[in-house]
């Protein structure tokens, strides 16, 4: 029965997708607007719990009249928005009137759900993990120096939930165990002491995690991991797990090119609704806890791109090197759409690392790219055909003095705005732009960390401005 429910949710999800949240860097104003809409105000019990350091409202949204309280909080880290989006999809599900009415009524009758979407609105505004004064709320569970931390602990103590869901995003580069498979979702029943003891509450959390893993393998084959369970007394998950509350951590990764995390948002939606039905039916209690310990832990920290066996000429000799490249999301002022900034993470024998993307460069020779001689009057009018011509000649940098155009320019080329040619540097932690040649012919280019054919511009999201 429950698997049918999951399959139906999988098919019908789009109906509940909250279309106000279409990119992951939404601010608190979106959350506030959604919560103050009559749709939520008329169907849920909304409470203002308090305010963040910068005076942004933190709300709880309650649904159901049942005896068992389930508390869920998201985005305690401001730059971890996946579950917040999923919670608004769940609100849409809960207030719909359709084929799921029976389950909806069961949830309403048996559970009291308390949701806290976006516990750290100031961090969300800045796109940072920490709050407005730089405190990581998840290291403030004991000292409670932030209003946001106090709000969460007060809520836990007031309601004494049976289950708590601690909803985060993890770096998407974690692998499942010692494989080259990225962890889509990492789950954990947090420990509450250094001995990693298991009381009856943690036992329930362990079993529900095992059940989630078993039931979601179909949607995420070999992509579910167990988060590392070292005891961290300053964190909320561990603190709450020690209060006889079955606590579950859900850490969402990122499907490789799914920058807005829509797929794992949907998985969060399904996992949480499925968990509610499991808690009502108690069906997870049959599962053997060895299943939990068999879930592979987060294993390797993978690299975005590894180029293997590149021929690299030094003053006197030719060397074979591997090059590891990462691309980080960065945000320019007033923009909430990410730019990407590449850097070289490592050079040398990288046989012990896994690349999310790998390319064997045997027979390819490294060469620095070129800077064009001309100075462009305008860069925003450059056509795709112009850019391809530059790439085919190995020109990866254009000169321009049009600074004003550059703030939000996203083109597959780098721009140099001064006479400084340090852009051509190849070194650790520096941006990655170079060409790969065979018999003196350009075969591949690496532009801001993306490996592509010279006539293919589609992969490169943006170059850099030097
Ligand atoms: Zn987090």
Q: What pLDDT, on the 0 to 100 scale, is given for residue 269?
A: 98
| pLDDT tens digit sequence for 8-36 | 999 999 999 999 999 999 999 999 999 99
Asked if 307 and 323 count as a contact pair (C-beta separation under 8 A), the reply is: yes
Strand duo 163-169 + 246-252: pairing: parallel
| pLDDT tens digit sequence for 235-244 | 999 999 999 9
Please give, one letter per residue, the 3-state secondary structure of the chain: CHHHHHHHHHHHHHHHCCCCCCCCCCCHHHHHHHHHCHHHHHHCEEEEEEECCCCCEEEEEEECCCCEEEEEEECCCCCCCHHHHHHHHHHHHHHCCCCCHHHHHHHHHHEEEEEECCCCHHHHHHCCCCCCCCCCHHHCCCCCCCHHHHHHHHHHHHHCCCEEEEEEECCCCEEECCCCCECCEEEECCCCCCCCCCCHHHHHHHHHHHHHHHHHCCCCCCCEEECCCCCCCCCHHHHHHCCCCEEEEEEECCCCCCCCCHHHHHHHHHHHHHHHHHHHHCHHHHCCCHHHHHCCEEEEECEEEEEEEEEEECCCCEEEEEEEEEEEEECCCCCCCCEEEEEEEEEECCCCCCEEEEEECCCCEEEECEEEEEEECCCCCCCHHHHHHHHHCCEEEEEECCHHHHCCCCCCCEEECCCCCHHHCCCCCCCCCEEEEECCEEEEEEECCEEECCCCCCCCCCCCEC
**How far is residue 272's CA from residue 288's CA, in Å, rounded to a whole number?**
21
Percent of the chain with pLDDT over 70: 98
Ligand 1 mean position, distance from CA 130 (Å):
10
**How far is residue 190's CA from residue 206's CA, in Å, rounded to a whole number?**
9
Ligand 1 mean position, distance from CA 408 (Å):
29
Q: What are phi and psi of 231, to 5 degrees?
A: -70, 130
**pLDDT higher than threshold 80 for residue 201:** yes
Ligand 1 mean position, distance from CA 207 (Å):
23
Asked if 170 and 254 count as a contact pair (C-beta separation under 8 A), the reply is: no
Q: What is the mean pLDDT of residues 254-279?
A: 97
Confidence class for position 48, pLDDT limits 50, 70, 90: very high
Predicted TM-score (pTM) of the model is: 0.95
**pLDDT higher than threshold 60 for residue 351:** yes
| pLDDT tens digit sequence for 418-441 | 766 678 889 999 999 999 999 999
183: left (phi over 0), alpha (psi -120 to 50) or beta: beta
Ligand 1 mean position, distance from CA 336 (Å):
19
Other CB atoms within 10 Å distance of the CB of residue 173: 18
Q: What is the mean pLDDT of residues 445-460?
A: 94
Task: Identify the CA nearest to 250 among candidates 307, 311, 183, 202.
Answer: 183
Ligand 1 mean position, distance from CA 77 (Å):
5
Ligand 1 mean position, distance from CA 194 (Å):
21
Ligand 1 mean position, distance from CA 250 (Å):
9
Ligand 1 mean position, distance from CA 252 (Å):
9
**How far is residue 255's CA from residue 265's CA, in Å, rounded to a whole number?**
11
For the purposes of burial, counting CB atoms within 10 Å of the CB of 3, is it exposed (0-12), middle (13-18) or buried (19 or more)? exposed
Ligand 1 mean position, distance from CA 18 (Å):
22
List the beta bridge partners of residue 51: 57
Ligand 1 mean position, distance from CA 327 (Å):
20
Confidence class for position 233, pLDDT limits 50, 70, 90: very high
**How far is residue 292's CA from residue 206's CA, in Å, rounded to a whole number?**
6
Q: What pLDDT, on the 0 to 100 scale, is given for residue 21?
A: 98
Q: What is the mean pLDDT of residues 50-67?
A: 98
Ligand 1 mean position, distance from CA 80 (Å):
6
What is the second-level CATH architecture of the domain 303-452?
Roll (2.30)
Ligand 1 mean position, distance from CA 364 (Å):
41
Ligand 1 mean position, distance from CA 235 (Å):
10
Ligand 1 mean position, distance from CA 46 (Å):
25
Return the domain boundaries, the chain. Answer: 2-301, 303-452
Q: What is the mean pLDDT of residues 259-272?
A: 98
Ligand 1 mean position, distance from CA 232 (Å):
13
Ligand 1 mean position, distance from CA 332 (Å):
23
Asked if 186 and 253 count as a contact pair (C-beta separation under 8 A), the reply is: yes
Ligand 1 mean position, distance from CA 76 (Å):
7
Which positions ≥6 away from 73 have C-beta within 8 Å? 115, 116, 119, 152, 155, 164, 165, 166, 167
Q: What pLDDT, on the 0 to 100 scale, is given for residue 116?
A: 98
**pLDDT higher than threshold 70 for residue 193:** yes
Q: What pLDDT, on the 0 to 100 scale, is given for residue 380?
A: 79
Ligand 1 mean position, distance from CA 441 (Å):
46
| pLDDT tens digit sequence for 152-176 | 999 999 999 999 999 999 999 999 9
Mean pLDDT estimate for the chain: 95
**pLDDT higher than threshold 80 for residue 111:** yes
Ligand 1 mean position, distance from CA 293 (Å):
22
Q: What are phi and psi of 213, to 5 degrees?
A: -60, -45
Confidence class for position 2, pLDDT limits 50, 70, 90: low
What is the second-level CATH architecture of the domain 2-301?
3-Layer(aba) Sandwich (3.40)
| pLDDT tens digit sequence for 67-87 | 999 999 999 999 999 999 999
Ligand 1 mean position, distance from CA 233 (Å):
15
76: left (phi over 0), alpha (psi -120 to 50) or beta: alpha
Confidence class for position 409, pLDDT limits 50, 70, 90: confident
CA distances from 431 to 52, 170, 326 (A): 37, 24, 9
């Amino acid at each position: 029965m429950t698997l049918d429910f999951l399959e139906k949710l999988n098919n019908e999800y789009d109906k509940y997708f909250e279309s106000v949240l279409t990119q992951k860097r939404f601010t608190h104003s979106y959350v506030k607007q959604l919560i103050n809409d009559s749709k939520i105000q008329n169907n849920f019990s909304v409470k203002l719990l308090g305010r963040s350091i910068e005076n942004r409202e933190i709300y709880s949204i309650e649904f159901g009249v049942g005896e068992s309280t389930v508390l869920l909080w998201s985005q305690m880290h401001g730059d971890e928005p996946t579950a917040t989006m999923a919670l608004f999809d769940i609100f849409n599900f809960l207030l719909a009137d359709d084929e799921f009415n029976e389950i909806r009524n069961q949830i309403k009758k048996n559970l009291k759900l308390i949701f806290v979407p976006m516990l750290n609105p100031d961090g969300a505004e800045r796109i940072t993990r920490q709050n407005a004064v730089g405190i990581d709320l998840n290291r403030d569970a004991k000292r409670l120096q932030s209003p946001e931390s106090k709000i969460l602990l007060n809520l836990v103590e007031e309601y004494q939930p049976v289950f708590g869901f601690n909803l985060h995003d993890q770096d998407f580069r974690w692998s499942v165990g010692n494989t080259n498979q990225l962890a889509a979702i990492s789950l954990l029943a947090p420990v509450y002491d250094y001995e990693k003891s298991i009381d009856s509450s943690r036992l329930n959390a362990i079993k529900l995690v095992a059940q989630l893993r078993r039931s979601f393998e179909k949607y995420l084959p070999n992509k579910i991991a167990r988060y590392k369970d070292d005891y961290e007394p300053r964190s909320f998950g561990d603190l709450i797990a020690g209060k006889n509350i079955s606590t579950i951590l859900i850490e969402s990764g990122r499907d490789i090119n799914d920058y807005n995390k829509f797929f794992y948002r949907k998985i969060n939606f399904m996992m949480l609704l499925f968990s509610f039905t499991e808690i009502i039916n108690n069906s997870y209690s049959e599962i053997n806890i060895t299943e939990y310990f068999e879930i592979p832990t987060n294993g390797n920290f993978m690299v975005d791109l590894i180029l293997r066996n590149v021929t690299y000429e030094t003053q006197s000799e030719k060397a074979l090197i591997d090059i590891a490249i990462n691309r980080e999301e960065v945000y320019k002022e007033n923009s909430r759409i990410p730019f990407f900034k590449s850097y070289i993470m490592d050079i040398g024998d990288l046989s012990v690392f896994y690349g999310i993307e790998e390319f064997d460069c045997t027979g390819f020779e490294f060469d620095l790219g070129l800077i064009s001689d001309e100075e462009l009057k305008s860069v925003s009018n450059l056509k795709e055909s112009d850019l391809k011509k530059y790439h085919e000649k190995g020109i990866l940098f254009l000169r321009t003095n049009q600074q004003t155009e550059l703030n939000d320019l996203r083109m597959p080329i780098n721009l140099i705005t001064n006479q400084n040619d340090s852009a051509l540097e190849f070194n650790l932690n520096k941006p990655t732009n170079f060409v790969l040649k065979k018999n003196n012919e350009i075969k591949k280019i690496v532009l801001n960390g993306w490996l592509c054919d010279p006539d293919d511009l589609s992969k490169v999201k943006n170059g850099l401005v030097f």
